[in-house]
Amino acid sequence: MTEFDPARLRGATQARLSRRDLLRGAFLGAGGVAMATGLAGCSIPGTKEAAAVQAQTDWPAFWAQQKPTTHLKFANWPLYIDEDKGKYPSLEMFTKSSGIKVDYQPVIQGNSPFYATVAPQLRAHQDIGYDIVVMTNGWELTQMIGNGFVMELDHSKLPNFAKYAADNVKNPPYDPGNKHSVTWQSGFTGLAYNKKLAPKKVTSFQDLLDPAFKGHVGMMNDNTELGSAGLLAIGVEPTTSTPDDWRKAAEWLKKVRPNVTGYYDQSYIDKVQNGDTWVTQAWSGDVFQAQANGSKDLEFVIPAEGQMLWHDNMMIPMQAQNPLSALSWMNYYYTPEIAGMVEDWVNYVCPVPAAQEYILNELEDPAVAGSPLVFPDAAVDKQTHNFRVFKSYDEYEEWNSIFNPVIQG
C-alpha cells in the first residue's frame, strides 16, 4: 500500500499490514499452514479439558477474588493504535489515570499463526504472557471461545461498554451477549471502484458480471470474504446459509471469473488506485485512507445486496496474570475521548459513536468525524450483514472445499 502522508490528514494512518489476507495464515510457509489448520480441528488433545475448566468456573466468584495489579500486557496488530514517536498517547493517559503500566506489543500478524502459537500453551493451562489479545471474528476466534481458552468477562466492570458501545458491536453472533469479547475496531467489506476509469457507476454485485468490466474486476483471495460476497449476490443471508447455498454462491462467483483479473490480498487497494482494476471488493478503512492520500476518484460502495461487517475483538486469555487490569483498559477504551484518540489514528469503523463529536470538536478533524466509513448512520446498519459462525471444523472445511476452487481456478 502506498505510504500515507500524514500532512494530508492529521491523525490518519496506513492500514494494518495485510488486514484480513492473514486470517488463515497467508504468509505462513506450508508447514505453518498445516500447523494452524491442525490446531483448528476439534480433536486437539486437551481442548475438551480446557473447555470443561472454563465451563465449570464460577465466574462471579472468580472476579470477586481477583486483586488489582499495576500491570497490563496487551497484544495487538501492527499500526492499530494511536502512536506518536513510538509512544501511545491513549495508553499513557490510561496509566496516568489508573496507575496501571501497559506493556503494549504489536505482535499479532494474523489470526491463524497467532492461534497456532498460543493454543498449545492455553490447552496446557499455561499463561501465554498477555492479558489482552485482539482477534478477528472467524474460525480461530470461535475456537478460542469454544475450546475454553478465554475468560468470561465481568460486565459489571464494563459500564462504559454498556453506555457507549454501538449497537452493531453488542451481542454479536460469534459471541452472544459479549460474554467473552468486546470490539476493538470494526470494518465493512463492500465494493470500491475508480470513477475515472469505470465505464459506469457501480451499485451492485451484479455489475461485476458486466462484460464492460472484463479484465478489470478484483476479488479477494480470502475465501470467507469471497464466499460471503457470493451469498449476498444471490440474496442469501450469510449467517443462516447452508452448504447448498454455498454451492450456488460459488457458481455465481464462477460466472464472474471471466471478468476477474486477480484474487488479491491487501494489494487490491494498489490495483484499483493504479488502474489495474476498475472495481474490486474492498475494506472501508483502506478506501478511507486511500481517499485521504489523494485518490479522489476512488469511491466505496455498499452494494444493493448489502455489505459485510467484521470485528476485531479484545479478549482475556485464560491464566492471564492481570485480568482486572484488562477489564480496566476495556472500560477506559469505551469512552468517547479514548476511543476518539484511537479512531482518529486508525480510521476503521469506531465502536463508540459518541467519539465522533470528540474528534470533531476536540481533535478538530472533520474529515474523520464526517466520514460514513468511520461513523456510519443507522441506515448503513440495515444494509450490513454478519459473517457465518461455523458450527464445527467439518463445516468450516466444507466451506473451504467449495470456495477455494473459485480462487484457484
DSSP string, 63-103: HHH----SEEEEE--TT-S--BTTB-HHHHHHHHHH--EEE
Measured distance CA(189)–CA(64) in Å, rounded: 41
User: Is the predicted pLDDT of residue 266 greater than 90, yes or no?
Assistant: no
Question: Residue 55's CB: how many other CB atoms inside 10 A?
Answer: 9
47-51, 295-299, 372-376: lowest mean pLDDT where?
47-51
Q: Say what the pLDDT of residue 41 is.
A: 40
Bridge-based pairing of strands 307-315 and 182-194 is antiparallel
Task: Render pLDDT for 325-359 as a digit per residue (tens, 0 to 9).
Answer: 999 999 999 999 999 999 999 999 999 999 999 99
Could you give all domains of the chain from N- to C-terminal order, each with its CATH number? 30-186+311-371 (3.40.190.10), 187-309+399-408 (3.40.190.10)
* Residues 21, 119 contacting (CB under 8 angstroms): no
User: Is the predicted pLDDT of residue 27 greater than 60, yes or no?
Assistant: no
Sign of the torsion formed by the C-alpha atoms of 122, 108, 355 and 166: negative
pLDDT band at 23 (very low <50, low <70, confident <90, very high): very low
Q: Say what the pLDDT of residue 48 is.
A: 66
How large is the average pLDDT for residues 159-179? 97
The CA-to-CA distance between both ends of the chain, in Å, stands at 26
Q: Say what the pLDDT of residue 47 is.
A: 62
Measured distance CA(358)–CA(337) in Å, rounded: 6
Percent over 70 (pLDDT), the chain: 87
pLDDT band at 110 (very low <50, low <70, confident <90, very high): confident
250 or 23, greater pLDDT: 250
Bridge-based pairing of strands 298-301 and 182-194 is antiparallel
Q: Tell me which residue has cell 459462525.
A: 389
How large is the average pLDDT for residues 161-180? 96
* Residues 252, 324 contacting (CB under 8 angstroms): no
pLDDT band at 50 (very low <50, low <70, confident <90, very high): low
**Residue 36 cell numbers, joined:** 494452524
**Residue 364 cell numbers, joined:** 478538530
Measured distance CA(274)–CA(17) in Å, rounded: 19
